[in-house]
Amino acid sequence: MRFLLDTNVLAYFFEARRHSELADAAAIEPCAIADDVKRELEADAQRHQLFATWMQSSSVGVLPIIVGSPADRVFCELESSASTARGRGERASIALASAEPRLTLVTMDKGALWIALRELWAPGERLIGLPVFLRRLVDGAALDRDAAQDVMEASRQLRPTWWVHWWKGDTDAPTRNLV
């Protein structure tokens, strides 16, 4: 399985100053970004130089959308219904994930999540959020817990109910008595 990272997921790692850990994690747990996500981050006035340097040493792959491919057809449809150029990387990521069932899209953008829920119809896990992605990296020994915590803090997203107990390594987390 390859994780396809949306722009905001990368941005959270950069904001937490944990981008080097993501580069290392991608060598263990394969990760990629859409070519349009790469272009968005290269155009970012604050991070473009840091991102360009990071990409050169990162194991994160870059996936293009080939003209005439199934991903291209989905991307063109998504682009034609968009009211703005903003979110182009998200739409490219969704198009790639829709055409390649082995890709699991990782995002926390509300608009992208809704679009992806409509578009990713093939069987299997196709879409996960940032907390699940971070947990998978930690559980797979690709990222340490402190880095995961820093990225979650940088994202300013709500933590799932399991986060605190998992992060602390508490296997005796409170559970309901169902008897």
User: Identity (one letter) of the amino acid at 158?
Assistant: L
85 inside domain: yes
- Domain assignment present for residue 173? The answer is no
Residue 176 lies in a domain: no
Kindly provide the residue ranges of all beta strands, DSSP E only, lying in 75-172, ordered along the sequence: 103-106, 127-128
Could you read off the pLDDT of 138-165 as tens digits, one per residue?
Answer: 999 999 999 999 999 999 998 999 998 8
Residue 62 domain-assigned (yes or no): yes
* pTM of the shown model: 0.85
Give the residues of the chain that fall short of pLDDT 50: 177, 179
Q: What is the number of domains present in the chain? A: 1
Assess if residue 145 is contained within a domain: yes
Tell me the pLDDT tens digit for each residue of 89-104. Answer: 899 998 999 899 899 9
CATH code: domain of residue 60: 3.40.50.1010
Which residues form the domain of 159? Answer: 2-168
